[in-house]
Amino acid sequence: MKNPIAVLGAGSWGTALAVLLAHNGHEVNLWARNQEQCATISADKENKKYLPGVIIPDQVSLCNNIQEALSDTEFIVSAVPSHSVREIAQSICPYVHEGTIIINTAKGFEPKTHLRLSQVLKEELPDYCHDHIALLSGPSHAEEVGKNLPTALVVAGDCQSSAEKVQDIFMNRFFRVYINLDLIGVELAGALKNVIALGTGISDGLGYGDNTKAALITRGLAEITRLGVSFGADDKTFSGLAGLGDLVVTCTSMHSRNRRAGIQIGQGKPLKQVLSNMGMVVEGVNTTEAAHHLARQAGVIMPITEQMFQVLFHGKDPENAVISLMTRSKTHEGEGEMLSSGNDPL
């Protein structure tokens, strides 16, 4: 019998991935932080709170003890939000060994430090783990994966053979996994797209249409690509599933928390109230702050991110933010990438 796979975090995505892995023939230990929630999911054979309607098969064992979840496992799938990644890394550290592959699925930066999550994992885990850190990313709403609707993603990592192992455990007829060795690109694309998703949500909340949204998506992808490239990412990654694909799904789907939060902001609700309404983590808010910081650091102009930062953290009226974007001076497409050129790139 094969060793079990550990999935840490029983939110919607952790649950969907545990079910998928079980359908692929693996034993899965699904760790839920909350003891009561753990018992409820286990008794119901369903995660009624975060992934209702999807039956959890017997190959998935719920557990509340992280040591127990990790015993004899070769693969650890982390499905906790960005702000919990360091804590999780510290918790798993005593139990990893040379062959362990760690697969992060969160998309964001660590709050305050603005570190990418693979950087956080590398800070906390032993050196021999560093090559075996992978990231699963791409357009993949848990609700749809739970229903076996066709989905395509990427697995990113520094090591080809680890990435192939991750591809092997996840891939099936409905879940297509591509390998991309540009880890930094996949990480930045997946995180930064949430800034643009908040922005398109705001546009929707203001009552603007599909034309406006498409312009924000296109120009938004251009600016997050510029930032990524300045940190060494491959621009092609941003045109791929982890960039464009995830951006499109996040900006157009009602499953997206970032978009839904943006809609409420566009309708005039204050940020604090929006975040408390959501009841779940809205990664895009923290990511906007990180992106604003990184753009300054790299000297990259990001007009949409800048306006989002002003709206979220300085109370700028969203309608004025859109007007600021639409009334910039005339330009050529693709012109004016860097601060030093003095051009306006939107």
Q: Is 54 in the site for a copy of itself (CB under 8 A)?
A: no
193 is catalytic: yes
Q: Which of 11, 139, 157, 266 touches a copy of itself (CB under 8 A)?
A: 139
Q: How far are the Cα atoms of 20, 43, 73 from residue 27, in angstroms, in the given order?
A: 11, 18, 10
Does the footprint of a copy of itself cover residue 150 (CB under 8 A)? Answer: yes
CA 80 to CA 87: how far, in whole Å? 10
Please select the residue that binds a copy of itself; options are 239, 267, 324, 343, rule is CB under 8 A. 239
Q: Cα–Cα distance between 85 and 66 in angstroms, integer?
A: 14
Alpha-carbon gap, residue 337 to 323, rounded angstroms: 21
Amino acid at 214: A
> How near is the Cβ of 86 to a copy of itself at its closest, in Å?
29
SS3 at position 301 = coil
Can you tell me the distance from the alpha carbon of 10 to that of 29, in angstroms, rounded to the nearest whole number?
Answer: 11
173 binds a copy of itself (CB under 8 A): yes
Task: Answer yes or no: is 246 a known binding residue.
Answer: yes
Beta bridge partners of 270: none
Residue 143 C-beta: closest distance to a copy of itself, Å: 8
Q: Which listed residue (70, 217, 261, 282) binds a copy of itself by CB under 8 A?
A: 217
Taking CB under 8 A as the rule, does residue 23 contact a copy of itself? no
What is the spatial distance between Cα 322 and Cα 203, in angstroms, rounded to a whole number? 8
CB atoms within 10 A of CB 39: 13
Closest approach of a copy of itself to the CB of residue 225, in Å: 8
Q: Name which of 79, 85, 58, 52 is nearest 4 in CA terms.
A: 58
Q: Which residues are annotated as a binding site for sn-glycerol 3-phosphate?
A: 107, 138, 140, 193, 246, 256-258
Catalytic residues: 193
Question: Which positions touch a copy of itself (CB under 8 A)?
Answer: 138-141, 143-145, 147, 149-152, 154, 167, 171, 173-174, 176-181, 203, 208-215, 217-219, 221-222, 225, 236-237, 239-241, 244-246, 248-249, 252-253, 255, 322-323, 326-327, 330-334
